[in-house]
Amino acid sequence: MKKFLKKIFQSNLGIKFRNFIGFRAITVNLKSLEKNFSISDAFLWRTDNNFKTIINYSDILKQFFELDNSTIIIYIFDKKNKLLKIIENNNPENINKLIIEKKILNDFEGYGTFFIFHKNKNRINDSIRNSCYTGYSKNNNLPSFVHGNLMGASLPISHDNKNKLKLGIVESSFLKNNIYKIQKSFSNYDYIELFIANPTSRKIYFEINNKKYDLSIGECIIINIKKIDTITIKSNCFILRPVAFVYAGEYLDVFHC
């Protein structure tokens, strides 16, 4: 009986129930993604306000598993989760660069998320995470780089699986009672932009310093905040970590929170 209950407790359904009621919650559920999955962080790209986005990513399957002939696929979505473009790199080097600027998106000016996945004909007994480096250059100035910080979507690695991108890695709760207070003082900046993507497979609800927002599956938002000292996010998402763009005078800095 004890074994049976333990099995139910640790099953996907059990985890969903635990998360729903907030009892011994699992914040990131990789249970069905343990083998042969390519998992991507939810990355921001932006072409608004004279920004371009520089992406430096590596061939993880070659580096760690010595697999040749991988294809690295980049899915680019707009802020409302509309797929704008799929870019395939069929001949990846150990380190690769992609620049997202207006001209590669048919002059689209805006922002959204992108995900990077690694495909190979061979199956592997582990899963990998692309958490690469993105630089944000405004007015062609030096890009400010950040690494990925929040898993957002998955795709099977080998071709024998269904090739379907699945959004949502982070789990959510029924109540909006998860608090994330950014451990950073923002008081020295003129203004702040916070980029937040929905990393779950559900609609999320959140408050930033008591102002309410929501994001449907796959959606993201850049929130403008004027002079403030600290930022607290209260949500039904277990981990909601933004990327911050902070401005002082003519200078910009980007960092993950």
Closest CA to 97 of 59, 63, 137, 51: 59
Residue placing its CB nearer to another protein in the complex, 108 or 115: 115
Q: Is 103 helix (H, G, I), strand (E, B) or coil?
A: helix
CB of 69 to another protein, least distance (A): 18
Nearer to another protein, 79 or 156 (CB): 156
- DSSP labels, 61-105: HHHHH---S-EEEEEEE-TTS-EEEEEEESS--SEEEEEE-GGGG
Provide the binding-site residues for another protein, judged by CB under 8 A.
30, 33-35, 37, 39, 56, 58, 60, 63-65, 93-95, 126-133, 135, 141-147, 179-185, 229-230, 232, 239, 241, 248, 250-253, 255-257
In the bound complex, what is the minimum distance in angstroms from residue 59's beta carbon to another protein?
10
Pairwise CA distance, residues 121 & 209, whole Å? 47
**Residue closer to another protein, measured from CB, 78 or 143:** 143
Minimum distance from CB of 101 to another protein (Å)? 16
- For residue 201, the minimal CB distance to another protein (Å) is 18
Residues sharing a CB contact under 8 Å with residue 145, sequence separation 6 or more, in sequence order = 54, 56, 133, 134, 135, 254
Q: Which one, 108 or 189, has the nearer CB to another protein? A: 189
Phi-psi region of 238 (alpha: psi -120 to 50; beta: other; left: phi over 0): alpha
Structural tokens at position 41: 């962080």
Of the two residues 106 and 125, which places its CB atom closer to another protein in the complex?
A: 125
Q: Please, what is the minimum distance in Å from the beta carbon of residue 191 to another protein?
A: 15
